[in-house]
Amino acid sequence: MAEHPFRIVNVFTQGGLALTGNPLCVFENAAALSSETMQALALQFNLSETTFILPAANFAARVRIFTPRYEMAFAGHPTLGTAHVCRDLKLGGDSLQLEMQAGVIPVRAAGNRWTLTAPSCSWRELDAPKAELAAALRLDASDIGDRPLWVKAGKEQLIVPLTSVDAVKRTAPDVSRLSGIRSEDDLSMVYVFAFDGPNSALARFFFPQGTAILEDPATGSATANFGGWCLAMQRALPVNVAISQGVQTGRPSSLFLEVDGRRTIHVSGDVVEIGRGTISL
């Protein structure tokens, strides 16, 4: 039997507190693991994502990302958490590049605050009526803000502006209704947000797992897509938003969005390692 070391880190922690943010399992060396074993390990840990570090000729590492059910081309908190582990393994320093299915993702650090540069983004209009979307979120049509969009800055998700923080707190997706509103990869992922100040927002993210809809405590890919929404809406640049997420899940999280003057999207958050172990296979 072989030993396979892993680490547990929390990403987008709030105030550096260990038991906040979004948990991630990172396998340090997955060169000997098959795709089927990676998928099975992701199900074993049953976190929103598990990542696997592989050798890369020209970059710090090649990274594969798995949910308990499928592989993902890109996700935000796995990118930042894996970069944190790569630095500790001496695969890179405070500035490194990770090769993922979505492309090469630049990541940099200032202490334990990590920042990724998202892939270039695209967007398309939502073809569902506002009333249908509101019903899927169990909200009133008046709660839906201007121009919900499908945005892709690595992974396509539905970005929905709401008219108040109260509407964000009241969002409770209807599984059957939301299942009819699907992304390009046939998933019903939705990110709702409302500004609660000039440079701050409250957000929530819901995603499918089997026949249920779960809530993510902190979603870097959706934060990048929020940046894409800001570009689509032609908001004045640069954009800087401090985002609170995860309060309703008991995992308060802090995420930081920047869209710079070159229209490049950056997502930042603090990473804390909380444990290490090995799996024998």
Enzyme catalytic residues = 49
Q: 177: part of which helix (H) or strand (E)?
A: helix 175-178
**Which tokens go with 210?**
């089997």
User: Distance between CA atoms of 46 and 276, rounded to whole angstroms?
Assistant: 16
| C-alpha gyration radius of the chain | 18
Cβ–Cβ < 8 Å for 95, 104: no
DSSP labels, 121-165: -EEEE--S-HHHHHHHTT--GGGB-S--EEEESSSEEEEEEBS-H
Cβ–Cβ < 8 Å for 215, 252: no
φ, ψ dihedrals at 221, nearest 5°:
-65, -40
Which residues, at least 6 apart from 16, have a Cβ–Cβ distance to it below 8 Å?
Answer: 112, 270, 272
